[in-house]
Each structure stands twice: as structure tokens, then as C-alpha cells.
Amino acid sequence: MGKSLLSGLTIVVVAAGVGLVAGAGSAFAATTPLYVDNTFGSGCSDTGGGSQSKPFCTITAAVGALAPGQTAQITGVFNERVTVNKSDVTLQASAAGAARVAGPSAGFAVDGQHDVAILGIDVLNVASAPAFAVSNGVRISVVDASVTMANEATGPAIRLSAVTDSALTGVKVDGGAVSAGLALDAATSRTVLKGLTVSVGRPAGSVAVDIAGSNNTIVNSRTYGGAVAVIALRPGAAGNTVVNNTVMSGHGVGILNNGATGTAITNNSLDFNCLGGIRVAGASAGVSVQNNVATGDVSSTTGCDPAIPSGPEIGLYDGAAGTTVVDYNAVSRSAAPNSLYWWNGPLGLAGFRAASGQAAHDTDVADQAHLEDSANSAAPGYQSTDSFGQPREDNPAQPDTGAGPVTYADRGNSEFIRGPYPIVTVVADQAGNSVTVDASRTVPGYVPIAKYRFDFGDSTSQVTQTSPVATHHYSTPGTYSISVTAVDVNGFSATQQQSKSLWPAARTFALLAHDNNRYVSATEGGNTQMRAYQSTIGEAELFELVKVGGDVVALRSRVNGQYFTVLVGPDVPAGSNVVGAWSASTSGDDTLFTITNNADGTISLRSLVNGKYLSSNHGVGMMTADRATIGPWEEFSPVDAANATVTLRAGVNNRYVTAENGGNSPLIANRTAIGFWEQFDLVDAGGGWVALYSRANGLFVTAEAGGNQPLIANRAAVGPWEKFKVIANADGSISLLAGVNNRYVTAENGGNSSLIANRTAIGPWEKFDR
């Protein structure tokens, strides 16, 4: 659809997301609107003048009061058939989904008018008449309407008769058993049908879109169903364009051009049409069939009659055979490749070329390699964007075999696009409460990256710049979700997100070893080497993290006030690089570490004295700092002192949650006293999430089966099913939100059944006291 199709038309934006086609000299003046609102409490009256404080009760009353250039803002549900008998007026929903007319005879009738716009008003359950019946009109616009026809409806869902220079945009039609979802008669011309979704059933003689007029365009639409065809162009029609559409699931053919002349059938994608893809027949002349993708794998499972053979994907019949241009299409199906085309009989691609002299650049393979960068951009009706509004993009790795001014356009209704792929690293300066975010390793798509957008996850504004590196200072420590969006020169973007924790100046916590689910301990009051072997938290298992400078920290044992120290050097006995709480100060590198925040929410500690990571050694021997890379033995989960030995008491029955049967049975709130089975540690799982470590068996609580089964403490590691978010309620209680399904944990059946994460809202059963 070139600019010529909108010649003499102007797009006037009247509300967010709503467009209006009006005459270039139309008088859509900025006058005070009238209001229609029949919702409860509106105080409406059809004699009240239509002010915002005293709106009309019916749309019909508002139409009667409208002056040229005036708009009616509409709210409510109306059982009306509205006759629009005035020109230069607008009927507009006050918000998306806010206005609808419904009922057997509901809808709109516009006859003999010009410059009428109906915006965002849905029409539902219509049985006896078209939802929109427009006749003898000029510059009529219907935008963003949803039309649903009743099962008994038979006539067209939308009918245009003698309508010119008009537009239907973003309209959705569920047509049921109607004869046509949308019908344009022979006197309808220069009308644009854009971004439609039209679906009809398959009663005898039905089509989804029926065009008998001339110089009309259907573009960027999705069309389904029909017994004769999905889109039909009738005898006598001339100069129509069918471009960038999805055409599917018809009992007949996908696009039927029967006696229409000068039709441009371009860049459509057709599939699952029982009798084939595109058929040009009758007295058709001057038809162009180019850049289409037609695949025809149909069977009884798609609703086709298995006794009726599938038709050709492109067929030229009758006198159309000698005057139709067929080229740059892709036709394919897994069966009967020798009947993909029709020219005086079924033919394969080679036979069709030989018989017709057409299809020199057609292909009978419809994979990406054959569709990409291979269309004819000089074909009639060709669009510079695809059906989703995406611009044409060149894949530099794919040879450009297309024709016309853009040799890299793709066949079919969608352009293959490869946007940027962000690769982001975040380095925290723990002392300065800041991060440096580096996206310089981002992989561009088909075109260069134009800019990067940084969102640091706090209250500050996003930062957009051409440089891939940005530094940000936070006012307070905490865990922040940081995202980087890379945007290429065509506007395509992709985002990567990471969580980063900035710790306070001093933090007291325990360290749970990832590989054996045991706590690091300063054994024997800190007099011997560290070991990861304790299942409970006491003074020997608590440490203070102290910021030293930059990203460097030290860890001080609560049991003796000494700092973690890595012993290295030739004088150290066997077992060098062992770790203990032995130093009174942080004056040497042997007491200093950097923290790595791992993707699974754990942390790792890297010694400055030798550049090696702290290892639990599976809790079997002493801890060492001797690993060059991070594995399970080098991963630890922090448990803040305040989150150790937590109990959960259900508010619904005042009973404590227990890991029943020593953790072998699901969690249930049925205990009146606290023991080991009723104690949990809230392990930091990163990004604001925690995991519940059960003291009953040293395993993690899981929302079993993705939240579909009760919670049970039986997991050795933390994954998506084991992550929860603690929600603080206004009454001082807490609730637990499961990360796997975004549902709240409930004491099911008032606490008489096992805990399960299946609630979408917080009520008494979802509240617990710590």
C-alpha cells in the first residue's frame, strides 16, 4: 500500500491508541464533548443536556444533540441500534473497553453521511442485523471495535455499501455462522481495512472478507474461516490490494480472485486452507501474485474433508492463466509436491514454470533461508514494513536475492528480524554503595546498536546513552534489580536484568554451604580451622561482614572477634591455604576478600592474598581458599542473624507450621509448641527472595510440582520452586509468595490441611506470625 492509497486522507489522533480518518478539510473542531454514561450512579438523563455531571443515558440521545465537529464520550453498556444521521461527528469510548452496545439488534447504522468516526465501541451478541451497516458514506471510520455475532446470525457482521475514502482499523470480528465477516459491495471504493482480525465459521457460501468494490486495500490483517474462501474478490472488482495478511483455516481456498481485475496479492502468509492457497479464476486479468508464502499441510485434524483432495497453493484457471504475474512466492507442503500449482491441471514448480512462463523466482521450500532477503520490493502493493509494522532488515549473512529497490525484503507477511542480544556484567563497589554496569559485550542484530537504556532499580530515572557502560550510586544499601535495554537503529530492543546486593557497612549472618547444606563454623571457639558442618546456628556460626574499601570486605567471627584469615606461604604446614578466625585486624591481604554474586542467589568469596576462592571441601575436611573457579563447594547462601531460627504461626488457627514427620511429610500448621521440626532459617536466595531451610532435616522447603502440590522440605538445593518472597502485611503479620507461580502460601482448609502455594490474594489463611 503506497501513499497513493491514502491520497486525500488525513489521520487525526483523537485519543491514545485511536486514529480517525477524516477529510483534509473536515471540521473536526475542538468543541466541548457531550457525555453518555448509563453506569450505576451516573445520574444520567436523556433530557439533561449531556454534560459530564448530567450525561445522556443513551447513545441515540447524544447523536440527536451532537453539533458538527463535536464528540460524544461514551461509557456503559447499551441495548441500542444507533442510527447516525449526522455528518462530521465522533462517537468515542471514554476508555478502552468502557463502551459497548449489546443485544440481538444492537449496532450502528450510518447512511448518507460523511466524516463520521466510531472509536473503540464494541458491539456484542448481534443476531438480526450487521453490527455496523454503513451505506452511501464518505470518510467513515470505525476503529478498535470488537464485534461478536450470535450463533443464529446469518448476514454479514459488517457491511459497507457505496462507501468511499473510508477506513476500518483494528477491528475484531467473531462471526460465527455469518455469510461474511466483512462485506464490501460493488460501489465501495478507496477504503482501507487495516489491522483487522476476522474469524468466521464455515457455513455454505461463507467468506471472512468479501470484496466486490474497487481500489480497496486489506493490509496487516488476520483472517480465518469461510467455506468458499477466507478472502474473496468478486467479478467486476478492480484495482484492489491484498497485502501482508495472515490467511488461514478456510474450508475453501485462502484467497479467491474470481473475475476481479488488477488485484495485487502480495506478501501474504497462507496456511491450512483445505482447497489451497491462492486461486485466480474466471475473467480475472492483470492480477499480480508475488512474495506470498503458501503452505498446505491439511488433514482431518484441521477440519478438512479427507475425501476431498487439497487444491493447489497457487492456481491459475480459465482466462486468468495468460494475464496473471506469478513470481517470488514460496509454496510448500509435505505431500503431493507435484500438485502445488495449477495450469490446465496440477503441476509441480518445474512443470508450472515450463507451462506458464511464470514463477521464475518461486521456490517450493518455505524455510527461513528461502524466505529471507528474497522478495520483490517492486511488486504491486509491496509495503516498506511487515504486518507487525517492522521495517525491512537485511541479514548480512544471507545473500540478497530479491528484486526492486529493496533487495533484502522477505517473502510472506513477517520480516525476519534479529535484534540485539545484551550481555551485561555488574560490578559492585561495596564501600561506595555504587555499581558499574557494563554492556559492551552486547551482540548486535542485523543492524548496529543505537543506544543503551539503564534502569538501576531504585527511584531514580532511567539513563539513556550511546555508551554501553554506566555507573550509579545508591542512597542506601539493599538488593536492586538492574536492567539494560539495548536498542538498535531500527528501534528493536532486548533487555537483560540482574540483581545486585549492596551490603551495609556491617552485616551479621551465617554462611550455608551450597554443596552440603551445612553452616560454616569457627570450631572450638575459633581456635582451629573453619569447617562447614553445622546444621544449626549459634555464636560460632555467626560472622560480621565489614566493608574495608572498594569491593573489598573482611569477615569477623562473633565467637572470638577475630577475622577470617587465609594461611599461605612456605612456612605453612601441609594443608596450606587453610582458613580460620585468627587475625585481630585487617592489615594484611590474608584477611581480605571480594564477593561474587552468583546467578543462583549464592555468593562466593575470593581471597586477595592468593586470588583463590573459599571452599567448603564438602564439609569433610577443613575449609581452604585454594579454588581457581566457582563450583558448588565455593557457593554459600547468607542467612542474616535476624532470619535464623524462624518459626511461622498460622493466623487462622494460632498453630505453628511444622515440617511434619521430620520433613518426610508436607508442611502443616498444627503444632502448639516449638521444636526442631517447627524451626526454619530464611536463606538469602538473591534478588529479594529467600529459601526456607528446615531444621528438621537440613533440606529446603519446595512448592512441589510447581506449586500444584503441598509444600514439603525435601530439596537439597535452591531452584525456582524453592524461592519465596516475604510480604509484610499492615497488621504486622507476613505472607509468603512462591516464586514459581506467583501465588501465596495458604494454611489450606483453615489449617487442617497441608500448606500449599495456590492463592492469588492474601486473606486470613495466608497470614503468619514470625
In the predicted structure, residue 711 carries a pLDDT above the cut 90: yes
Instruction: Please tell me the distance from the alpha carbon of residue 306 to that of residue 274, in angstroms, as a whole number.
Output: 9
- CB atoms under 10 Å from CB of 716, counted, come to 12
Q: Please state the separation of Cα 488 from the chain's center in Å.
A: 19
Distances, alpha carbon 54 to alpha carbons 44, 49, 60, 334, 508, in Å = 5, 7, 16, 64, 63
d(CA 351, CA 362): 12
585-609 pLDDT per residue, tens: 888 888 899 888 887 888 899 999 8
Catalogue the E-assigned strands of 570-663.
Answer: 579-583, 593-597, 603-607, 613-615, 624-627, 636-640, 649-650, 656-659
Q: Identify whether the C-beta of residue 438 lies closer than 8 Å to the C-beta of residue 469.
A: yes
Listed residue (343, 342, 267) closest to 312, CA to CA: 342
Tell me, what DSSP letter sits at residue 441? T
Return the pLDDT at 430. Answer: 67
674 and 696 both lie in a single domain: yes
> pLDDT digit string (tens) for 11-66?
222 233 333 333 333 334 447 999 999 999 999 999 989 999 999 999 999 999 99
| CB-based contact 65:48 (threshold 8 Å) | no
Give residue for cell 483455516: 249
The count of other CB atoms within 10 Å of the CB of residue 344 is 10
Q: Which of 246, 226, 124 is nearest to 179 (CA)?
A: 226
Stretch (H or E) spanning 61:
helix 59-65
- Evaluate whether residue 427 is within a structural domain: no
Residue 193 domain-assigned? no
What count of other Cβ atoms lies within 10 Å of the Cβ of residue 45? 13
139 vs 424: CA distance, rounded Å: 51
716: in domain: yes
Domain-located, residue 132: yes
Residue 294 cell numbers, joined:
503458501
CA distance 760 to 58: 38
Q: Give me the amino acid identity at 186.
A: A
DSSP state of 213: S
- pLDDT at residue number 383: 98
Tell me which residue has cell 521450500: 365
Q: Does any domain span residue 179? A: no
Would the pLDDT of 753 be above 50? yes
Distance CA 146, CA 197 (A): 9
Residues 6+ apart with CB under 8 A from 200: 157, 173, 175, 176, 177, 178, 180, 181, 206, 207, 208, 224, 225, 226
Same domain, 218 and 366: yes
Who contacts 659 (Cβ-Cβ below 8 Å, separation ≥6)?
665, 667, 677, 678, 680, 694, 695, 696, 697, 701, 712, 713
Q: Are 467 and 449 in contact (CB under 8 A)?
A: no
Average pLDDT over residues 217-234: 97
Q: What is the pLDDT of residue 652?
A: 92
Between 411 and 322, residue with greater pLDDT: 411
Quick one: 332 and 412 in the same domain?
Answer: yes
In this structure, the answer to whether residues 482 and 519 fall within a common structural domain is no
Whether 612 and 671 map to the same domain: the answer is no
Cell of 351: 512443470
**Domain end call among 385, 417, 449:** 417
Mean model confidence pLDDT for the chain: 89
Whether residues 525 and 491 share a domain: the answer is: no
209: number of CA atoms within 13 Å, CB side? Answer: 33
Q: Mean pLDDT lowest for which of 27-41, 311-325, 377-391, 530-544? A: 27-41
C-alpha to C-alpha distance for 413 and 222, rounded to whole angstroms: 10
Residue 465 and residue 439 in contact, taking contact as beta carbons nearer than 8 Å: no
212: its cell numbers? 466486490
**DSSP class of 151:** T
- Residue in this structure with the C-alpha cell 496440477, named with its chain if needed: 346
What's the CA gap between 90 and 696, in Å, rounded? Answer: 69
How far apart (Å, rounded) are the C-alpha atoms in residues 247 and 731?
56
Same domain, 391 and 470: no
What is the model's pLDDT at position 579? 85
| 195 inside domain | no
Neighbours of 105 (CB within 10 A): 12
Structural domain that includes position 667: 645-769
Q: What nine digits make up the cell of 259?
A: 473475475
For residue 431, pLDDT over 70 is answered with no
Whether 171 contacts 196, CB under 8 Å: yes
Beta-ladder partners of 519: 512, 534
Q: What percent of the chain has pLDDT over 90?
A: 68
Residues 288 and 163 in one domain: no
Q: Do 255 and 111 share a domain, yes or no?
A: no
Count CA atoms closer than 13 A to 622's CA, side-chain side.
Answer: 21
Secondary structure (DSSP) of 348-377: -HHHHHHHHS--TT-BS--SHHHHTT--BT
Which of 88-92, 373-377, 378-382, 424-428 bottoms out in mean pLDDT, i.e. has the lowest?
424-428
What Cα–Cα distance (Å) separates residue 185 from each residue in 105, 212, 626?
Answer: 22, 5, 82
Task: Count other Cβ atoms within 10 Å, centred on residue 475.
Answer: 9
Residues 512 and 406 grouped into a single domain: no
Residue 196 domain flag: no
Which pLDDT value is given to residue 24?
Answer: 32
Q: What pLDDT score was predicted for residue 1?
A: 31
Quick one: pLDDT at residue 553?
86
Residue range 441-466, pLDDT digits in tens:
999 999 999 999 999 999 888 999 99
CA nearest neighbour of 634 among 516, 503, 541, 523? 516
Q: What is the CATH number of the domain that holds 527?
A: 2.80.10.50
Question: How far is the first Cα of the chain from the last one, in angstroms, to the nearest whole number?
Answer: 65
Identify the three-state secondary structure at position 146. Answer: strand
The string over 332-341, giving b where at least 16 C-beta atoms fall within 10 Å of a residue's C-beta and e elsewhere, is bbeeeeebbb
- Pairing verdict, β 132-135 and 107-111: parallel
- Mark whether 228 and 341 lie in a shared domain: yes
DSSP per residue, 73-104: EEEEEE--EEEE--SSEEEEESSTT-EEEEST
Last residue of a domain, one of 582, 611, 639: 639
| pLDDT value at 119 more than 80 | yes
Written as one letter, the residue type at 553 is V
Q: H-helix or E-strand containing 435?
A: strand 434-438
Which domain-ending residue is among 610, 639, 668?
A: 639
* CATH code where residue 476 lies: 2.60.40.10
Which amino acid would we find at residue 217?
A: T
b/e code 112-127 from CB counts within 10 Å (16+ = b): ebbbbbbbbbbbbbbb
Distance of CA 456 to the CA centre of its chain: 22
Flag whether 464 is in a domain. Answer: yes
**How far is 205 from 178, CA to CA, in rounded Å?**
10
Q: Give the number of domains in the chain.
A: 5
Q: Give me the helices (H) in 265-309, please.
A: none
Cell numbers found for residue 150: 450470535
Q: What average pLDDT does this structure show over 667-688?
A: 90
Q: Are residues 490 and 538 in the same domain?
A: no
Alpha carbon 234 to chain centroid, angstroms = 39
Question: How many contiguous H segments (helices) and E segments (strands) does the chain have?
Answer: 4, 67
pTM: 0.68
Cell of 151: 450463533
Residue 2 has pLDDT above 60, yes or no: no
Residue whose entry in the numeric block shows the C-alpha cell 467513515: 140
pLDDT at 665: 94
